[in-house]
Amino acid sequence: MDRWIFLMLACILAGFALIKVPLAGTFLAGIAPISTVVGAIAVLVFSLFLIFKGLMFLLGK
């Protein structure tokens, strides 16, 4: 398996971590909505990329 696949999976996990990180009660509480949005975008982008690459592999292109 290529190394970039593991990199994409790590990016998806990092996106989930950004979504779930508890920032309430810290000085970073103001950026909680921003970290949630960035995490959701990261999960979506990297997941769609992996799905696209998987389909391209299955179709032989």
Q: Other C-beta atoms within 10 Å of 15: how many?
A: 20
* pLDDT for the residue numbered 1: 62
* pLDDT for the residue numbered 10: 94
C-alpha closest to that of 11 among 44, 43, 33, 34: 43
Instruction: Report residues of the chain scoring pLDDT below 70.
Output: 1
Task: Locate the domains of the chain by residue range.
Answer: 3-19+32-59
**Degrees (nearest 5) of the Cα angle 23, 14, 52?**
140
* pLDDT for the residue numbered 52: 94
Tell me the average pLDDT of the chain.
92
Q: Other C-beta atoms within 10 Å of 30: how many?
A: 9
